[in-house]
Structure 1
Amino acid sequence: MEITIKDDFIKLGQALKLAGLVDSGVDAKFVIQDGQVKVNGEVDTRRGKKLYAGDTFEFEGTVVTVK
């Protein structure tokens, strides 16, 4: 799966919502804090983590690439 961003970066919580993997920012906050999200293959618990083109994130087996 891929998401396309218009700016230089997107925050992890926003990226989860854009990809349709969570319904709200609150949901994103909890799954990130619980260590359920990997960024570039490693668990990241920072909801404000900046993702740039080429980065990947994974949640519940779905891998998403930022374009």
Structure 2
Amino acid sequence: MKLLAIVGTNAPNSYNRKLLYYIQRHLKNQADIEIQEIDQIPLYNESMTNGKEPQIVKDLN
């Protein structure tokens, strides 16, 4: 099973991030868990996108 886990905070000492990495380590035989960060994703601003998504958003997608 392949899963994507998204760390939903920019905080450097996030308990959620620590928990996701713990889960990834301890379930490595049951699931392939890829962890992605949101720290490089800009806040949504429709006037700045002009209908185009930033490259970092495309990469995550």
More strand by share: 1
Give the TM-score taking structure 1 as reference length. 0.26
Give the TM-score taking structure 2 as reference length. 0.28
Larger-gyration structure (1/2): 2
More helix by share: 2
